[in-house]
Amino acid sequence: MKLENKIPEGQLETKWEKYRSTVALVNPANKRSLEILIVGSGLAGSSAASTLAEMGYKVKVFCFQDSARRAHSIAAQGGINAAKNYQNDGDSVHRLFYDTIKGGDYRAREANVHRLAEVSGNIIDQCVASGVPFAREYGGMLSNRSFGGTQVQRTFYAAGQTGQQLLLGAYSGLQRQVGLGNIQMFTRHEMLDVVNIDGKCRGIIARDLVSGKLERHFGHAVLLCTGGYGNVFYLSTNAMGSNVTAAWKAHKKGASFGNPCYTQIHPTCIPVSGDHQSKLTLMSESLRNDGRIWVPKKMDDVNALRNGSKKGNDIPEDDRDYYLERRYPAFGNLVPRDVASRAAKERCDAGFGVSKTGEAVFLDFAHNMKYKYGKQVATLKGINNPTEEQLTAFGKDVVKEKYGNLFDMYKQITGEDPYEIPMQIYPAVHYTMGGLWVDYNLMTTIPGLYALGEANFSDHGANRLGASALMQGLADGYFVLPYTIGDFLSKEISTKSIPTTHKAFEEAEKNVEEKINTFLNIKGSKSVDYFHKKLGKIMWDKCGMARNAEGLKTAISDIQKLRDEFWKDLFVPGESNELNLELEKAGRVADFIELGELMCKDALHRNESCGGHFREEFQTEEGEAQRDDENFKYVAAWEYKNTSDWELHKEDLVYENIKIAQRSYK
Amino acid sequence: MKILKLHKEVISNLNPQKKRNSMSGNMNIKLKVWRQKNSNSKGELVNYKVSEVSPDMSFLEMFDMLNETLINEKKEPIAFDHDCREGICGMCSMFINGRPHGPNDAVTTCQLHMRSFKDGDTIVVEPWRASAFPILKDLIVDRSSFDRIISAGGFISVNTGNAQDANCLPIGKNEADESFAAAACIGCGACVAACKNSSAMLFVSAKVSQLALLPQGKPERHQRVLNMVAQMDSEGFGACTNTGACEAECPKEISLSNIARMNREYLSAKLCSEIE
């Protein structure tokens, strides 16, 4: 197999525009006879679905939830980036492009990222036109805020619910096309295999999760918009149902997996509270606009906090270590996520964690609440010498308006009031930069099979900047794929629909059915969650925020043992011909186990540190990630051969427009 | 039993905080849970006991624990809908002690924590009850009627690529905020479950209001409200008799004033359509 990234020739700045204007088109009459299957209904899936249906294609959309509106894009909090330069702070397409490449630690493709930056502005326009109620200033203009890894304000938002508002916008476009009969929607359906015919992807096998029936669906092309695989860690900020199954099935049928070890650990999540924990909750990065992160300087204070004799507020200013501001004066609390997470781990490993578990740092709003917002309001009210109490009260109102829902959620989960005492946070698995390898057209190594949004590997390199996931999902779905798919479909206009009685469909369905029966017939002694938790523990300890060769080798053998145990000792109650949640989970965890092994293998082979991939053996004297551009400036695309057997293909990354350097946020 | 014990050991090894939690995991809870095999069979309330419940657990994590025990006893776990567990996807839907999403205000079931209950409490858990939300299994209901209502008109008809620059259309902060407040609806269906008439007026009016308040939504406002209301009625939702239970139980505090706005929108749409 040869990787062809299909990046068009020409100047970076005009590449996309030129390509878009020359890529083959499909005429409207032919579009009506071309069928496209879309798996997943998040930002990428919904936006692609409505756009393709508007263009005239016949579209079917599948999601495992009870409605397209539930996809996990809904939970994105902070915002969406766009190079609009509305704040007049010097932003531009080039700057967004540069920040994203640098933030990704020089492990993303220049051409893809530049295209993303180019269409970013259109996304905001499109969303506003479709009724997304973004935050606004009193003059009626859109409001912006800052996110990590940038020095401009380019993040558009709707309180702490930006993902919800964007998804509901895309979902309404999708439902509109459902009403018009251009999209057929299959909710509570899970894709369990792809069907390849003559080397092209031509359909899927899906299970109706209510009746348990297996269904065959033909498509001239298939789009996987199925999100990331953070749940391989068991505990993550992903939704409970988020899974890798669709991508993994495609991988086993020939789609190479790109950079599987690139995982984003988000610095600001609510710490683990106990062994009952089923998921972790993010506290938006936008909080780092106004929250300052610290731990005590003195061990005595740490002990006092842990035994409850002191609260965060009792520790005087001089005894606090604002370690991000100390280590990275230029970016301070707004360093990128990987840097912030590692810095938190460093302090906690050194013994300064502020909770009983030792795994928490403070995110403190008191300073900005009083002296930034409180003062502003006081000035507006004409109060020249406000009291401390007045400042707090005024500031609280402003903070409430900006982050109210996040503060409420924090209180709900922890039982503590973050307006009164500093939040406790700790890093948690949040996003996966790795995913199915795709070319410039977003096509995987299986012709006709595409991957969009978090499901592909393409735009974030080794670390994603905040508020860029929503941007990428919508860019892929609204403005990239609907054009690039023409390159493939224009050659398919004479391909008739293949009847699903074709033997490739028959075989694929038979395999899926056998797999389901195997799960039910093992009749072992342990639940799916037992295996999932064990896998998560291996992954977090050995392939989490810090990795080393020895640990990764152990992890690989531990995962192989766990896989054997899974297939011998799993217990799944119930039947296949009914709504069976345990059966659904079993299939997902089986795939996570295999993926876990590949992630460790990828992490082990990459003898460098970059972005979210931190190998302890490769760090600077100051503890920063040390890249090895000479040997690892490539995308690792893994081709599945057999159980525990993959072949590595390398796509060299070429930087013609950016001088690559050691990343510095100091 | 041996399996259960073994399992517990493994789980405790997984987590360094076991000590803290075994200290706090001190609640015993009795549950009466609606069990129903599928949409064609009859259901009933079944009693369960859950011990060692920690006040820090979410309500759904308590259910996870119960299900784990049931699975280890080779019994069928209780089926319930859930996904994000952050209170935003709208998938979770339990009717707890006679209230959708349980005893706390402005909280979804997934964000409800056991510290809101007392040791020894008996908790009754049922699915949403409404003829427009048929039960699929145990606590899972079919809410696809909501999707069909959105398909009938809950959108702005703008194709991708038609948009002008976003700041060409200034929108006053107050209108934007009000529209956002209505748009915060998560489509969980608690309003329907809370209503004695199983009315979906709060859900529908939230979408109608969000779009009616924005200039982008104005061109289609009449058609929108007429089509959405017609679809709502055809799905079998009841009428609104202004009791306000929907607003009281809404986890996102969607205001009753949206219903008033929808009624005005509907009336003006009706009048205009009759003139036409």
Tens of pLDDT, residues A573-587: 999 999 999 999 999
The letter for the amino acid at A451 is A
Q: Which residues contact A612 (CB under 8 A, 6 or more apart)?
A: A262, A263, A264, A265, A337, A338, A433, A462, A463
* Burial (0-12, 13-18, 19+ Cβ within 10 Å), A321: middle
Chain segment B129-168, per-residue pLDDT in tens: 999 999 999 999 999 999 999 999 999 999 999 999 999 9
Report the percentage of chain A scoring pLDDT > 90. 94
CATH number of B143-156+171-275: 1.10.1060.10
CA distance A557 to A644: 10
The residues of chain B scoring below 70 in pLDDT are: 1-24, 274-276
Do A165 and B183 make contact, defined as CB atoms within 8 angstroms? yes
Across the interface, of B72, B76, B173, the residue whose CB is closest to A527 is B72
Q: Does B271 touch chain A (CB under 8 A)?
A: no
DSSP single-letter state for residue A411 = H
Is the dihedral angle over the CA atoms A101, A104, A110, A116 positive or is it negative? negative
According to the model, what pLDDT value does residue A1 have? Answer: 85
Query: Which of A150-154, A468-472, B193-197 shows the lowest per-residue confidence on average (mean pLDDT)?
Result: A150-154
Contacting residues of B for A574, CB less than 8 Å apart: 76
Closest by CA to A339, choosing from A264, A414, A449, A410, is A264
User: Tell me: the pLDDT tens digits for A602-645?
Assistant: 999 999 999 999 999 999 998 899 999 999 999 999 999 999 99
B255 touches chain A (CB under 8 A): no
Return the closest-CA partner of residue B49 out of B70, B29, B64. B29
Contacts of B268 (CB under 8 A, 6+ apart): B222
Average pLDDT for A104-128: 98
Place of tokens 């509901």: A168
- pLDDT reported for residue B77: 98
On average, the pLDDT of chain A sits at 96
Q: Does B1 touch chain A (CB under 8 A)?
A: no
Give the A window 49-68 contacts with B, CB below 8 Å.
50-51, 54, 65-68
Distance, in Å, from the CA atom of A597 to the CA atom of A590, rounded to the nearest integer, reads: 12
Q: Tell me the ipTM for this assembly.
A: 0.96
The answer to whether the CB atoms of B68 and A529 lie below 8 A apart is yes
* Neighboring chain B residues of A275 at a CB cutoff of 8 Å: 11-12, 14-15, 17-18, 21
| pLDDT at B275 (0 to 100) | 63
Under 8 Å CB-to-CB from A664, ≥6 apart: which residues? none
- Residue A268 is predicted with a pLDDT of 95
**pLDDT for residue A45:** 98
Q: Output the pLDDT for position A316.
A: 96
Chain B, 190 to 209: residues with Cβ < 8 Å from chain A are none
Q: Which candidate, B235, B33, B209, B144, places its Cα nearest to that of A185?
A: B144
- Identify the bridge partners of residue A223 per DSSP, sorted by sequence position: A38, A450
* B199-215 residue pLDDT tens: 999 999 999 999 999 99
Answer whether B151 touches A (CB < 8 Å).
yes
Query: Taking residues A646-662, what's their average pLDDT?
Result: 95
Indicate the residue of B87, B152, B170 with minimum beta-carbon distance to A139.
Answer: B170
A408 touches chain B (CB under 8 A): yes
Chain A contact present for B88, CB below 8 A = yes
Which residues in chain A (195-214) have CB-CB distances under 8 A to chain B? 210
Q: For position A159, what pLDDT does the model report?
A: 87
Residue of B nearest to A174 (CA): B151
Euclidean distance between CA atoms A424 and A272, whole angstroms: 10
Residue B157 contacts A, CB cutoff 8 Å: yes
Interface test with A, best of B150, B157, B175, B185 (most A CBs within 10 A): B150
Cβ contact B57–A274 (<8 Å): yes
A203 forms bridges with which residues in the sheet?
Answer: A195, A218
Range among A14-18, A281-285, A385-389, A403-407 rated most confident: A14-18
Which of A357, A412, A574 has its CB closest to that of B16?
A357
pLDDT at B276: 56
| Whether B64 and A278 lie within 8 Å, measured CB to CB | yes
From chain A, pick out residues whose CB is under 8 angstroms from the CB of B137. 210, 578-579
d(CA B136, CA A547): 45
CATH superfamily label, B2-126: Beta-grasp domain (3.10.20.30)
Q: Which residue of B has its CA nearest to A47?
A: B160
In terms of Cβ atoms closer than 10 Å to its own Cβ (0-12, 13-18, 19+), residue A595 is buried
pLDDT 10s digits, A72-89: 999 999 899 999 999 999
Cα torsion for A395, A396, A399, A401, to the nearest 10°?
Answer: -110
* Helix/strand/coil for A154: coil
pLDDT at residue B250, rounded to an integer = 98
The b/e string for A463-495 (b: 16+ C-beta within 10 A; e otherwise) is: bbbbbbbbbbbbbbbbbbbbbbbbbbbeebeee
Nearest to B167 among A127, A135, A141 (CB): A141
- Min Cα distance A482 → chain B (Å) is 10
Q: Tell me, yes or no, if B8 comes closer than 8 A to chain A by beta carbon.
A: no
Percent of chain A with pLDDT over 70: 100
- In B23-62, the residues whose Cβ lies within 8 Å of chain A are 24-25, 37-38, 54, 56-58, 60-62
Q: pLDDT tens-digit profile of A184-227?
A: 999 999 999 999 999 999 999 999 999 999 999 999 999 999 99
Q: Which residue of A has its CA nearest to B156?
A: A130
Which of A218, A195, A214, A198 lies closest to A206, judged by CA?
A214
Chain B residues with CB inside 8 Å of A408's CB?
106
Of A137, A138, A275, the CB nearest to B11: A275
User: How far A307 CA sits from the closest chain B CA (Å)?
Assistant: 12
Give the Å distances, CA to CA, from A654 to A593, A602, A605: 33, 21, 21
Give the start-to-end residue ranges of the domains of chain B.
2-126, 143-156+171-275
Residue A403's pLDDT is 87
The terminus-to-terminus CA distance of chain A in angstroms comes to 43
The answer to which of A51-55, A138-142, B22-26, B201-205 has the lowest mean pLDDT is B22-26
Contacts of B35 in chain A (CB under 8 A): none
The residues, ordered by sequence, that sit 6+ positions from B97 with a Cβ below 8 Å of its Cβ are B103, B123, B124
Nearest CA in chain B to A579: B137
B-chain CB neighbours of A126 within 8 Å are 158, 160-161, 163
Q: CA A162 to CA A140: how far, in whole Å?
A: 18
Instruction: Tell me the shortest Cα–Cα distance from A569 to chain B, in angstroms.
Output: 11
Query: Which domains does chain A possess?
Result: 266-429 (3.90.700.10), 513-634 (1.20.58.100)
- Write out chain A residues lying below 8 Å of B19, CB-based: none
* Confidence category of residue A426, pLDDT binned at 50, 70, 90: very high
Q: Is B222 on the interface with A (CB under 8 A)?
A: no
Q: Which residues of B touch A573 (CB under 8 A)?
A: 71, 74-77
Q: Is the pLDDT of residue A50 over 60?
A: yes
Q: How many residues does chain B have?
A: 276
Subunit contact B17:A273, Cβ cutoff 8 A: yes
* Residue A193 per-residue DSSP state: E
B172 — alpha (psi -120 to 50), left (phi > 0) or beta? Answer: beta
